[in-house]
Chain A
């Protein structure tokens, strides 16, 4: 009987932490694997995305303001920087993250 009671208390505590939004520790290794795979799938397109947006914005501004290629050059560079910054945000160690925010 007493064993039943403790196991119920344990389950109740587990359920309460789950509702409070804190995951139980046991699930961690599996989740970690999945997110590393997800990280690898993300990195390349994050960099490409920045460049594509930079080129599109630059091309649009040139068309609108009748410049030849001034904004295209500037925004392609800025877009490339944004892409590299996206990848850096993705892979930077968590302690730097903690310090910054």
Chain B
């Protein structure tokens, strides 16, 4: 928010203790509170969507079924028949990130996916899972992937480190992508919102001109709705791609 004439666009990402004295005592910040809200929303959505369990679904049940089938098709189409066993994990991941991204668009709320600590934790979880699955399915043949097939042996000292770095870059690019998109979107909101406040100090002409940034912010909300679902989709599909490579022989 703008204080005076300076713009503090990153203040919105700061963590503060919430819920008064109790929150202070157990060091509870907004981030875990919004994670719990996100989980509760997703669970409530699925629970109440599935509750009627009718053959001809109502709107709410249809929405829940579409969500289920969307992620299920994503998992099974990308990973193959083995995808069914990873489907619950990918479903939870997709809807946790989606709920986080969309909760952040509610005014006065907090976007937990805008912290690299959160996104990196999610990414490293996916990375470790894919390594465990690779080692379990492929055994020691897993390490053969670090030498590209058909390449001359003389180039191995150059190619193997590059392949290893390329492999290690997966969780980093996965987490940076989500975090950077969320931060950039919310910083843009804040910049254009503070333009409105600055223009309001100019009197009548400022009031007229302030319509511009407000209109841009409304358009940005639309863009952020797209980015929110796209980033959750990219995170989920990359998880599927990494797991497909892990289960492939």
Partner-B contacts on A (CB < 8 A): 20-21, 23, 27, 31, 34-35, 37-38, 41-42, 45-46, 48-50, 52-54, 57, 75, 78-79, 81-83, 85-86, 100-101
Contacts and interface: CB of A to CB of B under 8 A. Distances in A.
B236 to A, nearest CB: 10
A79 B150 contact: no
Interface residues of B, number: 29
Nearest to A44: B177
Given A38-B230, A45-B177, A50-B173, A82 B166 contact: yes
Contact of B150 (A35, A48, A82, A100): A100
A100 B177 CA distance: 29
Interface string B5-19: 000000000000000
Contact of A78 (B81, B162, B174, B180): B162
A23 B77 contact: yes
Determine the main DSSP class of A at the interface with B. Answer: helix
B234 A50 contact: no
B49 to A, nearest CB: 21
A45 B173 CA distance: 5
Contacts of B122: none
A23 B81 CA distance: 11
12 contacts: A23-B73, A31-B77, A34-B233, A38-B230, A41-B177, A45-B174, A49-B176, A50-B166, A75-B165, A81-B165, A83-B166, A86-B169
B145 to A, nearest CB: 11
B165 A38 contact: no
B234 A42 contact: yes
A21 B169 contact: no
Which 8 pairs, one residue from A and one from B, show the smallest C-beta to C-beta distance? A49-B173, A45-B177, A82-B166, A49-B169, A82-B165, A49-B172, A50-B169, A53-B169
A54 B237 CA distance: 25
